[in-house]
Amino acid sequence: MKTLVLGGDGFCGWPTSLHLASQGHDVLILDNLARRSIADRISSPSLTPIASIEKRIAAAQSIGSIAFEFCDIATDCLRLKEILAQFQPDTVVHFAEQRSAPYSMLGDSERRFTVDNNINGTNNLMSSLVELGQRPHVVHLGTMGVYGYNDDFGEIPEGYLDVTVKQTQKDVSICYPGNPGSIYHMTKVLDHTIMQFYAKNWGFRITDLHQGIVWGTDTELTRSHPQLINRFDYDGEYGTVLNRLLSQSQVGHPLTVYGTGGQSRAFIHIQDTARCIHLACGNAPDEGSLPQVFNQIAEVHTVRVLAQMISDKTGVEIGFQDNPRKEAAENQLRVSNQGLRSLGFEPITLDDHLMKEIESTVVAFKDRIDHSVIDSKARW
Amino acid sequence: MKTLVLGGDGFCGWPTSLHLASQGHDVLILDNLARRSIADRISSPSLTPIASIEKRIAAAQSIGSIAFEFCDIATDCLRLKEILAQFQPDTVVHFAEQRSAPYSMLGDSERRFTVDNNINGTNNLMSSLVELGQRPHVVHLGTMGVYGYNDDFGEIPEGYLDVTVKQTQKDVSICYPGNPGSIYHMTKVLDHTIMQFYAKNWGFRITDLHQGIVWGTDTELTRSHPQLINRFDYDGEYGTVLNRLLSQSQVGHPLTVYGTGGQSRAFIHIQDTARCIHLACGNAPDEGSLPQVFNQIAEVHTVRVLAQMISDKTGVEIGFQDNPRKEAAENQLRVSNQGLRSLGFEPITLDDHLMKEIESTVVAFKDRIDHSVIDSKARW
């Protein structure tokens, strides 16, 4: 299977690209290396010393067929179309988006960059495929954050909500009403609408993976060679909550919890991200279907419980802070993940792996932690 | 009231700007004149000989306070912010979007332009207002085409659908599920999601006007001076259906009806567009509300009935063509327009005005009709 991975140099993209290559996919990564340049701009390099993309690709040759082309899909359609015409992908995995909610809320230029980059990237991809007459299966990384947290809707289903229309008393399945909590999350709602239209009008097979918060950094493959190491962000903008807390614990920084920490969120380990995407690639929906949605999550926890687990293991205390975000102080969260489970997904859970993660990555590089980037600068 | 009209040089924007100025608004038009340059690109100038924007503004001084600044809001945020900071609008009326469904479906570059222009324009506006701390009432031109045509949902309500969630048996009002029929209509679904997030997070008061197909060309004010004349498009891309049929009838071209002509659509006269927007400007929703949605329509007809009416009056026959669009051959359509009616909107209907329109505009300029632009080049 020829698989194009857009954004394959990023935190999820890189381990997924390696995993797909190891499973026999012929992988071509496109990336504009935006995650590296943003890290420079916010003065927060990866905790782990990641190799250049050239060295990564060289080291990855032992794993499988994997190549790289520099391309900014949001701005360089000509190059994108050249590459598509030559590579003829069976599957396109689309990670090529600005993926930090706090970054998207920093200010005017970050709001505009996030919308411009994410929406034009997705539309350019789909429009180029129409132009070329190609119909690969498109696997898009969405987010659980598109759903919002609305108790009236019950357990969060996979993309679609069964309702009865009051006026007609007809039972219908509708696209789950989006209720994003940041500009970033909003772009994922927009992406879904875009892909839904392309699926309807041009017969694309689409899988949208509404992913939980990713934790961890290593997979079997990124551990297998120093130049394959994955990036690890612990700063207030790009560090996902569990990774931030783990890093803080290693340098004795009070564990940053916003508000009461009663926010329930869904989590998934980075190794499972790669496995789930491999499963999704192999299970396209039928042509003519609505986009297929899977909730790519392993388990649900409150931030407070996570922080307490880490505090208990490390002795570092929790530092409650005023919540810089507009979100409910406390919420319940129940999420279906039957789609991927029915395809064989068996999640890695926090209890199994939590301490291993601390030992393997954060301890190894703790001297590189820069205290000044720990707190988020975004307010909304 | 200081009112900024984005896209105020266009087909709806110009008569609306004049109407608002005549009603005492202090109007500033921003426009990148894209409609004029697209007319050049598709070799289809306005049937009516419209004046330059400079001459328009000069002639409009007798009507009220009205000025113009050249600005491309999708690409020139710096200029947009300068103008906003100086003008300090109470209301922003946002027409500044590529508004033709067929144009948006012509090919790759038109798909990309429509998404890039419309989405970045809307997001740049909202983000700039956040940056500047301004909270004008934003009145956005949406389209009836966001709803799609789904009989299961009953009469189309104004933006929100009352449903019972099967899982919880809770009664909730949800944003009406978007089901756009073209890239253009899709951008209006995206715009609504964007404005909904800005309303939620930053307290904007938003009115989204889901407008029907506009017909006619003149208003009292555009008729009042030769340099105030409004544009009139009759080509396959920008001509709205009734205006196209009227033009065709004047040159003996068979009246173009796609498929069976059983498509039911909602219509509104251009004079009513201006009046409705004036009503909307004066009736902002409360801060903290969801966007207020009005269906800006007068009446519903099938295309076949419209064509028959014109054929009966003019003796020109109907020319049925294979439908170049993916849409239902026949559909029912019932639409609520209670919001604007409750504010005093009394629609102009086709029966009253149809012949007047033919006489006043199309006859006067029929020698300018170019047969080669009548058929649509878009296929989807």
CB A45 within 8 A of CB A264: no
- DSSP class per residue in A163-222: EEETTT--EEEEEPPP--SSHHHHHHHHHHHHHHHHHHHH---EEEEEE-EEE----TTG
B112 vs A131: CB contact, 8 Å cut-off? no
Name the pTM for this structure.
0.97
- The better pLDDT of the pair A353, B238 is held by B238
Told to judge if B188 belongs to the known catalytic residues of this protein, a careful annotator would answer yes
Does the ipTM exceed 0.85?
Answer: yes
B197 vs A190: CB contact, 8 Å cut-off? no
- Of the candidates B108, B123, B165, which has its C-beta nearest A127's C-beta? B108
A152 vs B163: CB contact, 8 Å cut-off? no
**Residue given tokens 């007047």 in the structure block:** B356
Which distant-in-sequence residues (6+ apart) come within 8 Å of A357 by Cβ?
A215, A216, A217, A218, A246
**pLDDT at site B350:** 87
Residue B319 C-alpha, separation from nearest chain A C-alpha, in angstroms: 26
Interface membership of A133 toward B (CB under 8 Å): no
A153 vs B171: CB contact, 8 Å cut-off? no
- Of the candidates A112, A154, A190, which has its C-beta nearest B168's C-beta? A154
**pLDDT at site B7:** 98
Residues of chain B with C-beta less than 8 angstroms from the C-beta of A127: 108, 111-112
Interface membership of B73 toward A (CB under 8 Å): no
B112 vs A186: CB contact, 8 Å cut-off? no
| Shortest CA distance from B124: residue in chain A | A112
Please state, in angstroms and as integers, the Cα–Cα distance from residue A197 to each residue in A40, B5, B213, B323, following that order. 36, 30, 21, 19
Tell me the HSE value of B296 on the side-chain side, using a 13 A CA sphere.
29
A174 vs B174: CB contact, 8 Å cut-off? yes
Interface membership of B189 toward A (CB under 8 Å): yes
Interface membership of B38 toward A (CB under 8 Å): no
**Catalytic residue (one of B143, B219, B273, B302):** B143
Residues of chain A with C-beta less than 8 angstroms from the C-beta of B130: 108, 111
Interface membership of B199 toward A (CB under 8 Å): no
| Shortest CA distance from B128: residue in chain A | A108
DSSP 3-state of B145: helix
**Catalytic residue (one of A16, A147, A188, A219):** A188
CB A224 within 8 A of CB A308: no
Please state, in angstroms and as integers, the Cα–Cα distance from residue B191 to each residue in A284, A337, B121, following that order. 29, 30, 9
Q: pLDDT band at residue A380, thresholds of 50, 70 and 90?
A: confident
For the stretch B9-23, pLDDT in tens is 999 999 999 999 999
Interface membership of A108 toward B (CB under 8 Å): yes
**pLDDT at site B155:** 96
| Shortest CA distance from A170: residue in chain B | B152
A190 vs B186: CB contact, 8 Å cut-off? no
Residues of chain A with C-beta less than 8 angstroms from the C-beta of B170: 152-153
Structure token digits, residue A95: 């990670």
Interface membership of A76 toward B (CB under 8 Å): no
**A360: pLDDT strictly greater than 90:** no
Residue B350 C-alpha, separation from nearest chain A C-alpha, in angstroms: 29
Q: CA-to-CA distance for B123 and A155, rounded, in angstroms? A: 32
Residues of chain B with C-beta less than 8 angstroms from the C-beta of A152: 165, 168, 170, 172
Residue B210 C-alpha, separation from nearest chain A C-alpha, in angstroms: 18
CB B335 within 8 A of CB B144: yes
Residues of chain A with C-beta less than 8 angstroms from the C-beta of B326: 200-201
Residue B288 C-alpha, separation from nearest chain A C-alpha, in angstroms: 13
Where would I find the H helices in chain B?
13-22, 34-41, 53-60, 77-87, 101-104, 108-132, 183-202, 241-250, 270-281, 303-314, 338-342, 350-357
Tell me the torsion sign for CA atoms B146, B247, B38, B3: negative
Interface membership of A290 toward B (CB under 8 Å): no
| Shortest CA distance from B380: residue in chain A | A201
Counting every residue written for chain B, the total comes to 380
Q: What is the mean pLDDT of residues A21-46?
A: 95
Strand B299-302 versus strand B2-6 pairing type: unpaired
Residues of chain A with C-beta less than 8 angstroms from the C-beta of B197: 180, 183, 186
A124 vs B112: CB contact, 8 Å cut-off? yes
**Residue given tokens 């999640």 in the structure block:** A347
**A88: pLDDT strictly greater than 90:** yes
Q: CA-to-CA distance for A31 and A146, rounded, in angstroms? A: 24
Told to judge if B176 belongs to the known catalytic residues of this protein, a careful annotator would answer no
Structure token digits, residue B81: 């912010």
Interface membership of A187 toward B (CB under 8 Å): no
Q: What is the mean pLDDT of residues A116-140?
A: 98
A186 vs B197: CB contact, 8 Å cut-off? yes
**Catalytic residue (one of B3, B114, B176, B188):** B188
**How does DSSP classify residue A263?**
-
Which distant-in-sequence residues (6+ apart) come within 8 Å of B109 by Cβ?
none
**pLDDT at site A211:** 98
- Residue B265, beta-bridge partner list: B301
Residue A368 C-alpha, separation from nearest chain B C-alpha, in angstroms: 35
Q: How high does pLDDT run on average in chain A?
A: 95
B186 vs A194: CB contact, 8 Å cut-off? yes
**Residue given tokens 């998934």 in the structure block:** A268
Residue A372 C-alpha, separation from nearest chain B C-alpha, in angstroms: 25
Q: What is the mean pLDDT of residues A295-310?
A: 95
- DSSP class per residue in A29-87: EEE--HHHHHHHHTT---SS-PPPHHHHHHHHTTTS-EEEEE--TTT-HHHHHHHHHHH
Structure token digits, residue A374: 């720990």
Q: What is the mean pLDDT of residues A86-104?
A: 97
CB A199 within 8 A of CB A192: no
For the stretch B311-353, pLDDT in tens is 998 999 999 999 999 998 899 899 999 999 999 999 999 876 7
CA-only gyration radius of chain B, Å: 20
**Catalytic residue (one of A3, A48, A91, A143):** A143
Roughly what angle, to the nearest 10 degrees, separates helices A183-202 and A108-132?
10
**Chain A interface test: which of B81, B166, B184, B338 (most A C-beta within 10 Å):** B166
B193 vs A193: CB contact, 8 Å cut-off? yes
- Of the candidates A77, A177, A197, which has its C-beta nearest B175's C-beta? A177
Interface membership of B70 toward A (CB under 8 Å): no
Residues of chain A with C-beta less than 8 angstroms from the C-beta of B108: 77, 127-128, 130-131
Interface membership of A164 toward B (CB under 8 Å): yes
B111 vs A130: CB contact, 8 Å cut-off? yes
Chains A–B, number of C-beta pairs less than 8 Å apart = 132
What percent of chain A is modeled with pLDDT above 90?
Answer: 89
**pLDDT at site A159:** 97
Q: CA-to-CA distance for A332 and B253, rounded, in angstroms? A: 63
How would you label A6-20 residue by residue, b for 16+ Cβ within 10 Å and e otherwise? Answer: bbbbbbbbbbbbbbb
**pLDDT at site A138:** 98
**pLDDT at site B359:** 72
pLDDT tens digits for chain B (380 residues)? 999 999 999 999 999 999 999 999 999 999 999 999 999 989 999 999 999 999 999 999 999 999 999 999 999 999 999 999 999 999 999 999 999 999 999 999 999 999 999 999 999 999 999 999 999 999 999 999 999 988 899 999 999 999 999 999 999 999 999 999 999 999 999 999 999 999 999 999 999 999 999 999 999 999 999 999 999 999 999 999 999 999 999 899 999 999 999 999 999 999 999 999 999 999 999 999 999 999 999 999 999 999 999 999 899 999 999 999 999 889 989 999 999 999 999 999 987 677 777 778 888 998 999 989 998 899 98
Structure token digits, residue B275: 């009046």
Interface membership of A351 toward B (CB under 8 Å): no
Q: What is the mean pLDDT of residues A131-153?
A: 95
B137: part of which helix (H) or strand (E)?
strand B137-143
Told to judge if B143 belongs to the known catalytic residues of this protein, a careful annotator would answer yes
- Of the candidates A116, A163, A193, which has its C-beta nearest B120's C-beta? A116
For the stretch A215-258, pLDDT in tens is 999 999 999 999 999 999 999 999 999 999 999 998 999 999 99
**Catalytic residue (one of B184, B198, B238, B258):** B184
- Given 3-state DSSP classes, what are the helix, strand and coil percentages for chain A, each rounded to the nearest 5? 40, 20, 40
Q: CA-to-CA distance for B315 and B296, rounded, in angstroms? A: 32
**pLDDT at site A300:** 96
